[in-house]
Amino acid sequence: MNGTAEAPRRLVVGMSGASGAIYGIRALEELAKQQIETHLVVSKAAALTIAMETPMSVREVRGLAAETHAINNVAAPVSSGSFQTMGMLIAPCSVRTLAEIATGVTTTLLTRAADVALKERRRVVLLLRETPLTLTHIRNMATVTEMGGIIALPAPSFYTMPTTLDDIVNETVGRVLDLFGLDTGLVHRWEGKPRSVHPHDPRPHD
């Protein structure tokens, strides 16, 4: 952060049109528990994804945030570096959103807010949802990393022995929020061995 003043407990959350709307929803739920003031920006494609992938309406998702901002409202507070935040999380992040951030050609409030956070040297985390990757995607990931952003891929930790989709989503969201210094209690910390081994598992164990 710039200056010596402590940043407010305020985080910008973006949701773009990649698959994985549940990641953004779960992040908003956990941030509310952490008493973080969230400022949500939902892209038009993300609104479609929410409707296709979850039982929630876009209005319900918006209701999870402290404040919401229209995707085309470039006059919103989060479009200015003078509006202090802890940074920005985009979950899920599409490769188009990644490309706009990497090139600095921001066409919506979603990518403008990320650009602002980067120029102010704040933490920016992109939960990228795409596979396989083209060379362009990889180059854009490298560019954002060189700019100070963090590319986070939703890679499950199977040593935690997940049994449900919620287990996998929660672990990913917990790891992402770790990057902002927020311990949600969702992460099963590695302690040198798996949490448990099923007694009927036929595989050998060292």
Q: What are the chain's domains?
A: 10-178 (3.40.50.1950)
Q: Residue 179's CB: how many other CB atoms inside 10 A?
A: 14
> What's the pLDDT score for residue 191?
86
Encode pLDDT of 26-48 as tens digits: 999 999 999 999 999 999 999 99
How much is the pLDDT for 202?
A: 46
Query: Does position 197 have pLDDT exceeding 60, yes or no?
Result: no
What is the structure's pLDDT at 193?
78
Given a cut of 90, whether residue 5 has pLDDT beyond it is no
Whether 184 contacts 33, CB under 8 Å: yes
Average the pLDDT over 183-200 and give the result.
78
Q: Identify the pLDDT of residue 192.
A: 85
Q: Specify the pLDDT at position 92.
A: 98
Strands laid side by side in the 67-69 sheet: 67-69, 37-42, 10-15, 87-93, 123-128, 150-152
Instruction: Give SS3 for 105.
Output: coil
H-only helix segments in the chain: 21-33, 44-53, 58-62, 95-103, 109-119, 135-146, 165-178
Closest by Cα among 147, 144, 146, 167 to 156: 167
What is the C-alpha to C-alpha distance for residues 141 and 100, in angstroms, rounded to an integer?
11
By residue count, the chain amounts to 206
Residue 1 pLDDT: 43
**Confidence band (pLDDT; 50, 70, 90) for 204?**
very low
**pLDDT tens by residue, 52-108:** 999 999 999 999 999 999 999 999 999 999 999 999 999 999 999 999 999 999 999
The confidence score (pLDDT) of residue 82 equals: 97
